[in-house]
Amino acid sequence: MQTASRAFTIEQLDLPSAPEPLVAEVAALRNALQREYLPDDPPVPAAAIAARARARPKMFRMREWLARDAAGTVVAQASLGQFVADTNKHLREAGVSVLPAHRRRGIGRALYREVVRSAGDGDDIVFEHYTNDRVPAGEAFARRIGAHETLRAHVNQLDLRELDRDLVREWSALRPGGYRLEWIDADVPDALVRNVIVAYDTMNTAPRGESGIEDWHHTPELIREWDRSRREAGRERRLALVIDEATGDTAGFTELTYDPKIPHVISQQGTAVIPAHRGRGLGKWLKAAMLARALREWPNARFVRTGNADANAPMLAINTRLGFAPVWASIIWEIGIGDARRYAEGGTA
């Protein structure tokens, strides 16, 4: 499918099956966009982008588009993601990114039109958009289309060269009585699937602001699919569960992922303590024990990056004490399908 104007052409992208030259074009675009908000980061290799696309979880449907200028150069991208699950069937994750030199020429609206037209039927569909303060054009676009802000957060970063290792040793030694750590490095073993489901579902207690997102509910099938996707993409994982020794129940968890193809950065996934077990130092113990392993096992990494809602004071306090500092502010926006259609089908912007 192609949509053309005198100034640009839009084409649908099937990234999982794309040939290497096209993947290289996508990588060049994404790295150019990344330089706007992470100017000091090295470029992400095309091989990493291809591996993740080809290993996408089956319960996540993704559609993507590219825009080319009159010379045939890729200058913008758009995406529409949807989880095929029992909850949040109304939700669509949408994104539009245009290189700075090509903004305000109608490319963003044209791409967004493709996104909206592909969202499916139903008057209850809601689009979710993410912007950050290092790219003000993103917030301007969200406001222009009529989206409303639902949650403010920050991406926080820990420079491992500056980590207080004495503090890590101190917190790693806390070992609150009645609890033990259970480590999962590869796929989740059958005996711990239920514990991991409880851990992941605890993220439903994280702040969501004014979002209309419903609680997510994991299943053994979803856990297996997350594991397959991570493994086939070549990403490594360290998952630590705090287990209540008296009951065998999950009391908390933290998880890191690492892609050797992008060796400078470790991604912090979820961290949570079950409400009934809070106030006992489990969060500090978990985070420190995990960082101690990361230092030993991923020595080429320089940064750990994590997203934290501004309203999540307990986790922010732990991260700040460890040395995490804000890199950029992020905003989550939502817009209903009716308002999105009105913008997308309107005039030039």
Model-level pTM greater than 0.85? yes
Q: For the domain 2-154+331-344, what is the CATH code?
A: 3.40.630.30
| Annotated domain spans of the chain | 2-154+331-344, 164-322
The encoded tokens of residue 168 equal 């890590």
pLDDT values of the chain reduced to their tens digit, one per residue, 349 residues = 556 556 899 999 999 999 999 999 999 999 999 999 999 999 999 999 999 999 999 999 999 999 999 999 999 999 999 998 888 999 999 999 999 999 999 999 999 999 999 999 889 999 999 999 999 999 999 999 999 999 988 899 999 999 999 999 999 999 999 999 999 999 999 999 999 999 999 998 877 778 878 888 999 999 999 999 999 999 999 999 999 999 999 999 999 999 999 999 999 998 999 999 999 999 999 999 999 999 999 999 999 999 887 767 888 899 999 999 999 999 999 999 999 999 999 854 4
- Beta strands 74-83 and 265-273, pairing class: unpaired
Give the whole-angstrom CA distance, residue 48 versus residue 55: 11
**What pLDDT was estimated at residue 209?**
77
For residue 252, which of 298, 215, 289 has the smallest C-alpha distance? 289
Q: Tokens 């989740």 appear where?
A: 188
Q: Which of 328, 330, 348 is nearest to 142 (CA)?
A: 330
Residue 332 is predicted with a pLDDT of 94
AA identity, residue 283: G
Q: Which CATH number is 164-322's, of 3.30.200.20, 3.40.630.30, 3.40.50.300, 3.60.20.10?
A: 3.40.630.30
Classified as helix, coil or strand, 129 is strand
Q: What 8-state DSSP symbol labels residue 31?
A: H
Topology alike, domains 2-154+331-344 and 164-322: yes
Tell me the C-alpha distance between 105 and 67, whole Å. Answer: 12
Q: Which residues contact 139 (CB under 8 A, 6 or more apart)?
A: 131, 133, 331
Predicted pLDDT of residue 348: 44
> What's residue 6's pLDDT?
63
H-assigned helices in the chain: 20-37, 46-54, 107-117, 136-145, 165-172, 193-201, 220-232, 282-297, 313-322, 337-344
DSSP 272-306: EE-GGGTTSSHHHHHHHHHHHHHHHH-TT--EEEE
> Which contacts (CB < 8 Å, 24+ apart) does range 317-320 have?
318/283, 318/284, 318/287, 319/156, 319/158, 319/287
